[in-house]
Structure 1
Amino acid sequence: MPEWINIIFRSFLFLVVLFFITKWLGKKQISQLSFFEYVTGITIGSIGAEVATKIEHSIINGVVSIATFAIAPFIVGLISLKSKSFRGFVEGKGTVFIKDGKIMEDNLKKEKYTTDELLELLRKKDVFNVADVEFAVLEATGDLTAMLKKEKQPLTPKDLQMNIAPIKESQAVIMDGEIMDEPLSTAGKNRKWLHTELSKMGITVENVFLGQIDSYGELTVDLFDDKLKVASPQERPLLLASFKKCQADLELFALGTDSQDAKNMYHKNSLKLQKAIDDVTAILIS
Structure 2
Amino acid sequence: MPTTPEVLYQSVIAFAFLFLLARLLGKRQVAQLNFFDYIAGITIGNIAASWSLDEIRNLHAIISLVIWTGLSLLLSFVQRKSRRARLLLDGRPTVLIRNGNVLEDNLRKANLDLEEMMLLLRQKSAFKVADVEYAILETNGTLNVMKKTELEPLTPKDAGIQVLPEREPRVLIVDGHVIQASLERSGYSREWLLGEIMKQGATDFKDVFLAQVDSNGSLYVDLYRDQQKEPQIKEKPLVAASLKKIQADLENFALETRNQQAKASYTRTSQQLKQLLEDLSPYLRD
Which interval holds the TM-score relative to the shorter structure? Answer: 0.5 to 0.7
Task: Map Cα deviations across residues 55-83 of structure 1 (whole Å, 9 max, x no partner).
Answer: 52445543443333222232123222332
Distance, in Å, in 2 between the alignment partners of 1:119 and 1:226 is 48
Distance, in Å, in 2 between the alignment partners of 1:28 and 1:100 is 23
Q: Where does residue 135 of structure 1 map in the other structure?
A: 134
The letter of the residue matching 2:78 is: I
Task: Map Cα deviations across residues 11-34 of structure 1 (whole Å, 9 max, x no partner).
Answer: 22211110001100101212236x
> Which structure 1 residue ranges, 5 or more long, are not aligned?
232-286
Equivalent position SS for 1:174: strand
Q: Where does residue 24 of structure 1 map in the other structure?
A: 24
**Is contact 2:201–2:228 with CA below 8 Å preserved after alignment?**
no
Distance, in Å, in 1 between the alignment partners of 2:76 and 2:39 is 26
The letter of the residue matching 1:16 is: A
TM-score by length of 2: 0.67
Written as runs of structure 1 = structure 2, the 5 A alignment for 1:80-95 is: 80-95=79-94
**Is contact 2:197–2:221 with CA below 8 Å preserved after alignment?**
no
Equivalent position SS for 2:164: coil
Structure 1 consecutive aligned stretches of length 4 or more whose deviation exceeds 4 Å: 2-6, 41-55
Task: Map Cα deviations across residues 164-193 of structure 1 (whole Å, 9 max, x no partner).
Answer: 221111111222333223322221223333
Q: Where does residue 105 of structure 2 map in the other structure?
A: 106
Q: Where does residue 253 of structure 2 map in the other structure?
A: none
Task: Map Cα deviations across residues 141-175 of structure 1 (whole Å, 9 max, x no partner).
Answer: 11100001111111111221112221111111222
Task: Tell me by how many angstroms 1:85 deviates.
Answer: 1.1
Q: Where does residue 123 of structure 1 map in the other structure?
A: 122
In structure 2, the CA distance between the partners of 1:101 and 1:188, relative to structure 1 (3 Å rule), is same
Equivalent position SS for 2:146: strand
Moved more, 160-169 or 42-51: 42-51
**Is contact 2:97–2:132 with CA below 8 Å preserved after alignment?**
yes
The letter of the residue matching 1:120 is: L
The letter of the residue matching 1:128 is: F
Matched, 1:171 2:167: no
In structure 2, the CA distance between the partners of 1:176 and 1:103, relative to structure 1 (3 Å rule), is same
In structure 2, the CA distance between the partners of 1:191 and 1:73, relative to structure 1 (3 Å rule), is farther
- Number of aligned pairs? 225
In structure 2, the CA distance between the partners of 1:68 and 1:163, relative to structure 1 (3 Å rule), is same
Equivalent position SS for 2:165: coil
Matched, 1:222 2:222: yes
The letter of the residue matching 2:98 is: K
**Is contact 1:18–1:45 with CA below 8 Å preserved after alignment?**
no
Q: Where does residue 144 of structure 2 map in the other structure?
A: 145
Distance, in Å, in 2 between the alignment partners of 1:43 and 1:81 is 21
Equivalent position SS for 2:225: coil
Task: Map Cα deviations across residues 249-279 of structure 1 (whole Å, 9 max, x no partner).
Answer: xxxxxxxxxxxxxxxxxxxxxxxxxxxxxxx
TM-score by length of 1: 0.67
Distance, in Å, in 1 between the alignment partners of 2:83 and 2:39 is 32
Written as runs of structure 1 = structure 2, the 5 A alignment for 1:237-276 is: none
> Which structure 2 residue ranges, 5 or more long, are not aligned?
233-286
In structure 2, the CA distance between the partners of 1:154 and 1:10, relative to structure 1 (3 Å rule), is same
Distance, in Å, in 1 between the alignment partners of 2:117 and 2:93 is 15
Distance, in Å, in 1 between the alignment partners of 2:5 and 2:185 is 56
Task: Tell me by how many angstroms 1:199 deviates.
Answer: 2.9
**Alpha carbon RMSD of aligned pairs, Å?**
3.4
Give percent identity, aligned residues only: 35
Distance, in Å, in 2 between the alignment partners of 1:180 and 1:60 is 56
Matched, 1:199 2:198: yes
The letter of the residue matching 1:211 is: A
Task: Tell me by how many angstroms 1:50 deviates.
Answer: 6.6
Task: Map Cα deviations across residues 35-70 of structure 1 (whole Å, 9 max, x no partner).
Answer: xxx9xx989986898799975244554344333322
The letter of the residue matching 1:163 is: Q
In structure 2, the CA distance between the partners of 1:162 and 1:58, relative to structure 1 (3 Å rule), is same
Distance, in Å, in 2 between the alignment partners of 1:54 and 1:18 is 20
